[in-house]
Amino acid sequence: MEITEKLKILGNAAKYDICASTATNKKHHISGGIGNTFQHTICHSFTPDGRCVNLLKVLMSNECQGDCFYCPSRSTMDIPRTSFTPEELSKLFIEFYKRNFVEGLFLSSGIKFNTSQTMEDMLKACEIIRYRYQYNGYIHMKILPNSPYSYVERACQLANRVSINAEVPSQEHMGKISKSKHWEKDILQRMDWIKNLSDKKDSKNISQSTQFIVGAASENDSSIIQSMNRLYKTYSLTRTYFSTFVPIKDTPLENQPAAEPTREGKLYQADFLLRIYKFKASDFVFNTNGNLPSDIDVKLAVSLNNLQNFPKEVNTCSYSELLKIPGIGPLTAQRIVTLRRNNIKIESLAQLKKIGAQIKNAQFFLTINGRLQGNITFLISKIELERERKHYKQLTLF
């Protein structure tokens, strides 16, 4: 098969894998080699869905022995199958990199004959890129479920980031999307190996991320957040990504409705609040179905549910307390604290706005020099009114 055809098939099959970050602390130093990495992400283009394309994100092969019920590459699907050879893939990648089309490589794969052989091909491609082409740039490599330890170890040496998809929040949920994958044994154990490998002194800062498929296993946001929190704590993950389930024709889940499109965005908000704002998993507020409320900002919902903790005095409360105020992010909180250290007090909402706070919501949850800035009951009735209006609009549609 021609490279063009292979690219069409193997690029298309990898597009739902989410990960555009190329930020890394891990450096590869082949003197005189090409490529470098940074602690921030560089985007090279955007598709009409608004996503950044900065990695050559492909499967090594879409041939697969797996049976994942949602997957267009599952073994029973009657689709064109193909694989890159390590030579083809490595050459293609390095030529893309030289043209500045991409910032790095994201390599995943279906399980061609067996896990070991597929991992071997993936590792071989990465070895050619690193050693023959003397590449010092970014590589993100997927670890296939059930991969042997030595292959996981080699991947950690070659890549800047490795990841294995959790896909679902528990073994019970795994049963709803695959008969052959075991959540604890095939996935969590590999996460544990990666964590231990990254703890080693010579690991050079390898990072680990994971991905959930939202809505494939009838799970709710609450279970995803609990699970994500556990994974962060146990395996020191750098990031979690979410991919909305979309039913694919001829798969066992073809008749299952697609997940609510808003869920993905809300889960990303929750992830940020967990990682950056240091919220606890128990802080979040869920609807009766266990999902995050779709009509209100996640942080605002948490604050409204914990009104006993407000208002906070901006000129005296700690950095972590400032972060709990809706409309105040890490940068603004840091600015407030730095100003305070230099004996400069916030005097007005206008000043707070100038230094980056979104006062639309923040004003209801804080005081400035003891003065309340907004009436919380006004905000609550505004939200309720908006909800009623939406409800009425929905009723009139039927």
Partner 1 sequence: MQQILYSSYASSVIKAVLLARLIDDTQLKNKAQEDDILFSFPQIDADSISSKDIYHKYRQQFGEIQWLKDTNFSFFKQQINMAFRHSKPDKYILIESVLKESLDNSLQFVLAKATDFGRKFYNYYNSVASDVHANKGFCRLQPMESDLLIGKINTEHNTGDLILRYFIQRFPKHKIALIDKRKNLAFFFDLEQFSIARPDNLEKASTIMLENDIYTQYWHTYFETQYIPEKKNTKLALKHFPQKRWNDMFEADFLKKHLE
Taking alpha carbons only, the member of 247, 233, 289, 248 closest to residue 266 is: 289
253 is an interface residue for ligand SF4 by CB under 6 A: no
Instruction: Return the residues of window 334-393 that contact partner 1 according to CB under 8 A.
Output: 335-336, 338-339, 341-342, 344, 351, 354-356
Residues 6+ apart with CB under 8 A from 193: 149, 152, 153
Least distance from ligand SF4 to the Cβ atom of residue 73, Å: 4
User: Tell me, what amino acid is at 150?
Assistant: S
φ, ψ of residue 46 in degrees (nearest 5): -135, 135
Q: Smallest distance from the beta carbon of 214 to partner 1, in angstroms?
A: 13
Between 73 and 92, how does the x/- string for binding to ligand SF4 read (CB under 6 A)? xx------------------
Q: Is residue 230 a contact residue for partner 1 (CB under 8 A)? A: no
Query: 187 with 165: CB under 8 angstroms?
Result: yes
| Other CB atoms within 10 A of residue 30 CB | 13
Q: Residue 174 touches which of partner 1, ligand SF4, none (CB < 5 to 8 A by kind)?
A: none
Identify any residues that bridge with 59 across adjacent strands, giving them in sequence order: 108
**What is the Cα 300 distance to its own chain's centre?**
22
Length of the chain equals 398
Candidate list 1, 12, 80, 369; residue touching partner 1; CB under 8 A? 12
Minimum CB separation from partner 1 for residue 184, in Å?
Answer: 31
Give the nearer residue to ligand SF4 in terms of CB position, either 109 or 361. Answer: 109
Q: How far is CA 215 from CA 98, 240, 250, in A?
A: 39, 16, 18
Sequence letter at residue 173: H
Q: Residue from 56, 111, 164, 302 that binds ligand SF4 (CB under 6 A)?
A: 111
Minimum separation from the CB atom of position 133 to partner 1 (A): 12
Q: Please tell me whether residue 11 binds partner 1 under the rule CB under 8 A.
A: yes
Q: How far is the CB of 129 from partner 1 (least distance, A)?
A: 15
DSSP per residue, 145-160: TT--HHHHHHHHHH-S
Q: Which window, 61-69, 122-130, 239-247, 291-299, contacts ligand SF4 (CB under 6 A)?
A: 61-69
Q: Residue with structure tokens 């390590």?
A: 86
In sequence order, the 6+-apart residues with CB closer than 8 A to the CB of 134 are 30, 32, 33, 34
Dig out the tokens for 86 from the structure: 């390590």
DSSP 52: B
**Could you tell me the CA-to-CA distances from 355 to 118, 170, 276, 327 in Å, in that order?**
52, 43, 19, 12
Does residue 110 belong to the site contacting ligand SF4 (CB under 6 A)?
Answer: yes
Q: Kindly tell me which of 282 and 342 has the beta carbon lying closer to partner 1.
A: 342
Of 67-75, 114-122, 236-244, 317-325, the segment contacting ligand SF4 by CB under 6 A is: 67-75
Asked if 43 interacts with partner 1 (CB under 8 A), we say: yes
Residue with Cβ nearer ligand SF4 (74 or 91): 74
Q: Which positions from 257 through 296 interact with ligand SF4, judged by CB under 6 A?
A: none
Among 39, 48, 288, 393, binds partner 1 (CB under 8 A): 48
| The entry of partner 1, ligand SF4, none that residue 16 binds, CB within 5 to 8 Å by partner kind | partner 1
Site size toward partner 1 (CB under 8 A) is 53
- Classify the C-alpha dihedral 87-88-91-93 as positive or negative: negative
**What's the closest the beta carbon of residue 128 comes to partner 1, in angstroms?**
17
Judged by CB under 8 A, which of 1, 27, 51, 280 binds partner 1? 51
Does position 211 interact with ligand SF4 (CB under 6 A)? The reply is no
Which of partner 1, ligand SF4, none interacts with 111 (beta carbon under 5 to 8 A by kind)? ligand SF4
Which ranges of the chain would DSSP assign to H, the alpha helix? 3-12, 86-98, 115-127, 149-158, 171-174, 189-199, 221-235, 261-275, 298-305, 319-323, 330-341, 349-354, 359-362, 376-397
Residue 175 binds ligand SF4, judged by CB under 6 A: no
- Torsion angle defined by CA atoms of residues 362, 367, 368 and 374, in that order, rounded to the nearest 10 degrees: 60
Residues that bind ligand SF4 (CB under 6 A): 64, 66, 68, 71, 73-74, 110-111
Residues that bind partner 1 (CB under 8 A): 3-4, 7-8, 11-12, 15-16, 32-36, 42-54, 56-58, 92, 95-96, 98-101, 103, 137, 244, 246, 258, 261, 335-336, 338-339, 341-342, 344, 351, 354-356
